[in-house]
């Protein structure tokens, strides 16, 4: 009897403990498991924008694409498509940026951001050094968006693309296309004035360099300021000529012929190198002059069409 009583006591204690633990566990269980997470279009747009502003462009692209999926009828959709293109642009994914802007124009052919998409598209081609395609994008703004605030900027970019190709007359013509009422007028006018002085640069003549090298190997290099190359060319050509002559005088005709054969290669190579060094000299001189113009005149390559901040010189400066 006593054993049965003890058994029931133990059973009661165990049952009480189990019941207490169950109640406590239920009280401690999170209450949020039944709550649904609701994302509205403003929150999603701001999340993507936060990643964009932090420079995490590819996560921003993911969130912008998520926005398109969840909110296909949103009034923000055009801006979202544009921001995808701009994110690719800032991430230097040129081809993806071009396709993104094309998609924007397909979805919103009469959209408010179409001119800006052409502008950044032009900058993409500019950075790719495809200046012809770059100009086509900028000309779209000039021809199709007569009220766009980016027209003068587009004209400036066209001018700068001609500068990069060393087409000075075309560049001058484009710079002159910026009106006096534009805030870019003084920039363009000063740069154009600098281009007008290009003919005063002390450029070297490739023809003269080649002629000098033909008369006296190495002298063409001295003409362009490459004294070490000139000494090398003179020494090599002199050594082979002397060896060929000595071999011939000693009736070593085979050796003389071999040396003469190789000397022809050194001789014409000396002429080609002198002409080529002249072109390089002139290019360095012109590039240095253009660089000084950019630094002196404060010309920028373009503006960010979203916040109107300028890109400086040729750097990706946002």
pLDDT in tens, 231-240: 998 888 888 8
State yes or no: pLDDT of 270 exceeds 80.
Answer: yes
Q: 């007569």: which residue's tokens?
A: 146
Mark which of 65, 97, 112 sits at the end of a domain: 112
Q: Is residue 281 part of a domain?
A: yes
State yes or no: pLDDT of 313 exceeds 50.
Answer: no
Q: pTM for this one?
A: 0.71
Model pLDDT for residues 276-294, shown as the tens digit of each residue: 999 998 888 888 888 888 7
Q: Is residue 314 part of a domain?
A: no
Q: What pLDDT sits at residue 294?
A: 78
Q: Tell me the Ramachandran region of residue 18: left when phi exceeds 0, alpha when psi lies from -120 to 50, beta otherwise.
A: alpha
Q: How far apart are CA 243 and CA 237, in angstroms?
A: 10
Q: Is residue 99 part of a domain?
A: yes
Compare 174 and 294 and report the one with higher pLDDT.
174
**Two structure tokens written together for 84:** 């995808």
CB 67 within 8 A of CB 45: yes
**Taking Cα atoms as reference points, which of 287, 272, 268 lies closest to residue 203?**
287
Q: Is residue 239 part of a domain?
A: yes
CB 179 within 8 A of CB 152: yes
Sign of the torsion formed by the C-alpha atoms of 99, 104, 109 and 114: negative
**Taking Cα atoms as reference points, which of 80, 85, 57 lies closest to residue 70?**
80
Q: Is residue 139 part of a domain?
A: no
CB 108 within 8 A of CB 78: yes
Residue 4's pLDDT band, with cuts at 50, 70 and 90, is low
Mark which of 112, 140, 166 sits at the end of a domain: 112
Q: What pLDDT sits at residue 257?
A: 87
Q: Is residue 70 part of a domain?
A: yes
What residue numbers bound the domain in which 84 lies? 39-112
**Taking Cα atoms as reference points, which of 215, 213, 210, 217 lies closest to residue 234?**
217
For 220, phi and psi rounded to 5 degrees?
-65, -35
Q: Domain total for the chain?
A: 2
Q: Is residue 91 part of a domain?
A: yes
HSE-up of 244 (CA within 13 Å, CB side)?
A: 14
Q: What's the DSSP call for residue 313?
A: B
Q: Is residue 130 part of a domain?
A: no
**Two structure tokens written together for 248:** 């011939």
Mean pLDDT across the chain: 83
Q: What's the DSSP call for residue 311?
A: E
**Two structure tokens written together for 264:** 């022809």
Model pLDDT for residues 128-162, shown as the tens digit of each residue: 999 999 999 999 999 999 999 999 999 999 999 99
Q: What pLDDT sits at residue 135?
A: 97
Model pLDDT for residues 57-67, shown as the tens digit of each residue: 999 999 999 99
């Amino acid at each position: 009897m006593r054993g049965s009583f003890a058994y029931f006591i133990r059973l009661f204690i165990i049952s009480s403990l189990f019941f207490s633990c169950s109640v406590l566990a239920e009280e401690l269980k999170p209450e949020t498991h039944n709550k649904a997470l609701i994302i509205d279009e403003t929150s999603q747009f701001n999340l993507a924008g936060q990643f964009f502003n932090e420079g995490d462009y590819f996560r921003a692209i993911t969130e912008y694409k998520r926005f398109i999926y969840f909110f296909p009828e949103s009034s923000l959709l055009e801006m979202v498509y544009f921001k995808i293109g701009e994110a690719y642009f800032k991430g230097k994914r040129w081809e993806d940026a071009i396709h993104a802007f094309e998609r924007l124009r397909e979805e919103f052919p009469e959209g408010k951001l179409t001119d800006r998409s052409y502008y950044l598209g032009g900058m993409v081609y500019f950075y790719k050094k495809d200046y012809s395609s770059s100009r086509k994008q900028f000309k779209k703004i000039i021809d199709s968006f007569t009220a766009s605030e980016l027209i003068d900027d587009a004209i400036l970019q066209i001018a700068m693309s001609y500068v990069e190709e060393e087409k000075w007359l075309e560049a001058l013509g484009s710079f002159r296309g910026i009106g006096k009422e534009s805030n870019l007028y003084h920039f363009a006018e000063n740069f154009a004035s600098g281009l007008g002085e290009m003919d005063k640069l002390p450029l070297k003549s490739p023809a003269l360099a080649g002629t000098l090298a033909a008369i006296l190997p190495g002298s063409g290099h001295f003409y362009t300021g490459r004294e070490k190359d000139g000494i090398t060319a003179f020494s090599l050509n002199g050594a082979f000529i002397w060896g060929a002559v000595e071999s011939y005088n000693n009736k070593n005709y085979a050796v003389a012929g071999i040396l003469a054969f190789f000397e022809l290669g050194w001789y014409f190579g000396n002429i080609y190198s002198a002409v080529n060094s002249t072109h390089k000299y002139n290019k360095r001189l012109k590039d240095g002059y253009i660089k000084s113009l950019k630094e002196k005149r404060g010309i920028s390559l373009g503006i960010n069409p979203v916040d109107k901040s300028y890109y400086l010189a040729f750097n990706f400066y946002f």
